[in-house]
Amino acid sequence: MTTVTEKIDAKLVKELREKSGAPMGDCLKALQETRGNIEEAFVVLRKRGMASALKKSSRVTNEGAVGSYIHAGGKIAVLVELDCESDFVARTEDFQELLKDVAMHIAASDPRYIRREDVTAEDLEREKEIYRAQTLASGKPEKLIPQIVEGKMSKFYEEVCLLEQPFIKDQAISVKELIAQKVAKLGENITVRRFARFKVGAPDWTVAQTKAVESAPE
């Protein structure tokens, strides 16, 4: 009798592995569940990665590494600290690859904050006030304003918060999901602690930092 496992082409598993970064075994299971549909399997892996990252998000990340990226021509430079739970994981190829990808993404996308929780109260209120005024001026019913403003704020977070931005090398996933994939693969919590971005000729530079999780490991 032919099993479901035998029906999944090894090339398809490899393709999903390269697309998602998930372990081969997880890719095979996801393809089995979705009857060989690679796009649906990718969604399954994304959900599992986020669930795994959420489960580990309370773990302390006191190890890690600092990475850098200098854009071609030397006009933009980035320093970023990416943290994990152990020095062993910090030295793995997967972690170092993630560090380089995050630094490159920051250089290209110029985020102002790391998480949406890091956005200052002043910035939040200013943006909300702008969106309220725009919505009123457009003639929309006043009762719809809170809902419309909320939708615009989601877009605002996606534009200015590193973790909410679509990953520069794969717009189908956010930076948060990119990190979640590595969390699922490496088995440790991974966090962006801080970063600095410099651009030649710019009147200022971007420095962003988020507080480390202080709770004890599981």
Q: Which residue has the tokens 């704020």?
A: 153
CATH number of 59-119+161-212: 3.30.479.20
Question: Residue 167's pLDDT band (boundaries 50, 70, 90)?
Answer: very high
**Intrachain domains 1-56 and 59-119+161-212 with the same fold:** no
Residue 88 to residue 90: CA distance in whole angstroms: 5
Q: Give me the phi and psi of 107, to 5 degrees please.
A: -60, -40
- For residue range 67-96, what is the model confidence (pLDDT) as tens digits? 999 997 899 999 999 999 999 999 999 999
Whether this model's pTM surpasses 0.75: no
Residue 14 to residue 18: CA distance in whole angstroms: 6
* Contacts with 18 (C-beta within 8 Å, 6 or more apart), sequence order: none
- For residue range 19-56, what is the model confidence (pLDDT) as tens digits? 776 777 888 888 888 888 888 888 887 777 766 667 77
Residues 31 and 38 sit within 8 Å (Cβ to Cβ): yes
* Domain assignments of the chain as residue spans, ordered by start: 1-56, 59-119+161-212, 120-150
Overall average pLDDT of the 112-134 stretch: 90
Q: What angle do CA 113, 117, 118 make, to 5 degrees?
A: 35
CATH class of the domain at 1-56: mainly alpha
| Helices and strands: H and E segment counts in the chain | 9, 6
